[in-house]
Amino acid sequence: MQLWVGLGNPGPQYAMHRHNVGFMALDAVAEVHDFSTPKKQFQGWTQEGRIGSDKLILLKPGTFMNESGRAVRAALDFYKLTPADVTVFHDELDLLPFKVKVKVGGGTAGHNGLRSTDAHIGPDFRRVRIGIGHPGHRDRVTGYVLGNYAKAEIEPLSDMLGAIAAEAAWLAGGNDARFMSDVALRLQD
């Protein structure tokens, strides 16, 4: 069993924020792979399903970004999983918009959701880094991250989320390189 966590903030006012792209990615996976309806659990919402032979629990913490790790820890303990069973989907300033990279472990790069998760389960979990680009100056980061995607970004956002969901079987099967490669191929113009 794997636990896939989307980072974001709960509530409709945050739904289209760049910071919520982790939630959006899980929603796309759940829809494409016909996961169960969301259930309130672990201070958030969970959905269960399978991708191929892999059983997955999708978790969207309802604790707000800064406390995401509490929900991840609760789910980890309940299912008796290890950090190696966890994949966290999150926005990444240091990647160009709509680029998707996967890595295991590493730092938090100032991301409060990653910082909280790291504090509760340690750094040894897999991360799906979803590029949102950088606004150019660090003084503009907060407004940018907590801002909605622009109208011109909606189509590429939709394409990227669709590619993540369509290629999720590679990720579930542990073939991170193939997942990244096939997502990138789908997004070529």
Residues acting as catalytic residues: 19
Q: Give the pairing of strands 54-61 and 44-51.
A: antiparallel
**How far is the CA of 139 from the CAs of 38, 90, 91, 106, in angstroms?**
37, 21, 18, 24
Nearest-angstrom CA–CA distance, 117 and 95: 20
CA distance 17 to 121: 26
